[in-house]
């Protein structure tokens, strides 16, 4: 993050760790103000019929991606394991793969490496650490036409710089961390497949970007501190930690620990993780913990 970290340790006194990062406060107006770029709402229709493979071991994540991408007219297949993803790729030759990294059996890195190795064998290409835009690839003179490399974009909750480096080194074209926005997905597809985008027209609010409407917001079900009142502080602490770093499996495990009579809390949390609203869960849990600490 462009900062600095240091430690001052003295025998018998203990250690003090400190860090600085270059950040600054922004005003509420800046947060809610107009976006500098036009909002992407879709990809243009009547384009080539693109084949998109969604690879994720969590059915909820695959369903979310499929729901986001289906309206733009692409053909979609899904895989829950690395082995299944490799088999579908061999038989179906998708244009683009959204690749989860943490998979049972073969992980996303290994699947990507195997795909790239087979592409090299098929096309006679030498891997130089960079895979170009597959739609821009073209055969050279007197060479037999072969399928262009599949675009592979890592889509994962692993957000450390070394994770991105590993994904790119394995042969991924790009890397996106969860939670993500629909606009980010569309922009990446447009970038790597050469697709034109549809932008939101200027509206009555002067062209300002409208906040995305999630399912839990649309039907008025918002998580509040009161919803957490019946749960133990230790459980809420674990919920806050898991949501803060986007660990969907950990949040789901905690949801299973909620008593059945608190069906309202269960429904709200399930709706939030379905929409990848981990930030909202973390914020509400943190506020609850702060208010409890103040009362004590």
The dihedral through the CA atoms of 30, 276, 175, 249 has a sign that is: positive
Q: Is there a single domain that holds both residue 63 and residue 124?
A: yes
Q: Is there a single domain that holds both residue 185 and residue 223?
A: no
Q: Is there a single domain that holds both residue 179 and residue 48?
A: yes
Q: Is there a single domain that holds both residue 165 and residue 47?
A: yes
How many C-beta neighbours within 10 Å does residue 10 have? 8
**Domain limits for position 48:** 40-138+145-199
Helices (H), the chain: 28-32, 59-69, 82-92, 108-123, 161-170, 182-193, 215-218, 233-244, 248-255, 263-274, 278-295
Which residue in 248, 253, 240 sits closest to 280, CA to CA? Answer: 240
Q: Is there a single domain that holds both residue 195 and residue 75?
A: yes
Q: Is there a single domain that holds both residue 55 and residue 181?
A: yes
Please tell me the predicted confidence (pLDDT) of residue 35: 45
Angle between helices 182-193 and 59-69 (to 10 degrees): 70
Please tell me the predicted confidence (pLDDT) of residue 202: 35
pLDDT (tens digit, 9 = 90+) per residue, 142-193?
Answer: 445 567 899 999 998 876 778 888 899 999 999 998 878 777 888 898 889 8
Whichever domain contains 67, its CATH number is: 3.40.50.2300
Is residue 2 in some structural domain? no
| Ranges of residues in the chain whose predicted pLDDT is under 70 | 1, 26-48, 124-146, 159, 199-221, 293-296
Count of domains in the chain? 2
Please tell me the predicted confidence (pLDDT) of residue 145: 56
Q: Is there a single domain that holds both residue 155 and residue 258?
A: no
Q: Is there a single domain that holds both residue 47 and residue 190?
A: yes
CA-CA distance, 62 to 173, in Å (whole number)? 20
Q: Is there a single domain that holds both residue 172 and residue 249?
A: no
Please tell me the predicted confidence (pLDDT) of residue 141: 43
Q: Is there a single domain that holds both residue 155 and residue 261?
A: no
Q: Is there a single domain that holds both residue 290 and residue 188?
A: no
Is residue 282 in some structural domain? yes
Q: Is there a single domain that holds both residue 155 and residue 241?
A: no
Is residue 242 in some structural domain? yes
pTM of the model: 0.53
> Which residues does 96 contact at the CB level (< 8 Å), separation at least 6?
50, 51, 52, 53, 134, 150, 151, 152, 153, 189, 192, 193
Check if the beta carbon of residue 285 is closer than 8 Å to that of residue 244.
no
Is residue 29 in some structural domain? no
Is residue 204 in some structural domain? no
Is residue 16 in some structural domain? no
Q: Up-side HSE of residue 92: CA atoms within 13 Å toward CB? A: 20
Please tell me the predicted confidence (pLDDT) of residue 139: 41
Is residue 20 in some structural domain? no
CA-CA distance, 149 to 96, in Å (whole number)? 9
Please tell me the predicted confidence (pLDDT) of residue 172: 95
Is residue 14 in some structural domain? no
């Amino acid at each position: 993050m462009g900062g600095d970290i240091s430690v001052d340790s003295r025998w018998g006194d203990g250690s003090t760790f400190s860090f600085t990062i270059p950040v600054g406060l922004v005003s509420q107006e800046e947060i809610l103000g107009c976006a500098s770029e036009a909002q992407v709402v879709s990809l243009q229709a009547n384009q080539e019929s693109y084949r998109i493979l969604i690879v994720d071991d969590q059915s909820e994540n695959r369903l979310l991606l499929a729901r986001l991408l289906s309206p733009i007219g692409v053909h979609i297949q899904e895989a829950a394991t690395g082995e299944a993803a490799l088999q579908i790729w061999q038989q179906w030759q998708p244009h683009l793969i959204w690749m989860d990294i943490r998979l049972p059996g073969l992980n996303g890195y290994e699947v990507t490496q195997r795909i790239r190795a087979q592409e090299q064998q098929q096309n006679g290409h030498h891997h130089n650490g960079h895979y170009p835009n597959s739609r821009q690839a073209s055969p050279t003179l007197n060479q037999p036409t072969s399928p262009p490399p599949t675009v592979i974009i890592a889509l994962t909750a692993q957000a450390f710089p070394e994770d991105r480096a590993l994904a790119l080194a394995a042969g991924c074209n790009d890397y996106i961390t969860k939670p993500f926005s629909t606009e980010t997905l569309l922009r990446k597809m447009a970038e790597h497949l050469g697709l034109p985008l549809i932008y939101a027209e200027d509206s009555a609010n002067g062209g300002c970007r409208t906040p995305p409407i999630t399912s839990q917001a649309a039907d008025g079900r918002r998580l509040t501190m009161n919803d957490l009142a019946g749960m133990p502080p230790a459980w809420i602490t674990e919920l806050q930690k898991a949501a803060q770093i986007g660990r969907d499996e950990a949040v789901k495990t905690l949801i299973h620990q909620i008593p059945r009579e608190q069906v309202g809390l269960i429904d709200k949390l399930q709706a939030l993780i379905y929409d990848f609203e981990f930030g909202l869960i973390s914020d509400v849990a943190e506020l609850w913990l702060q208010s409890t600490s103040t009362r004590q």
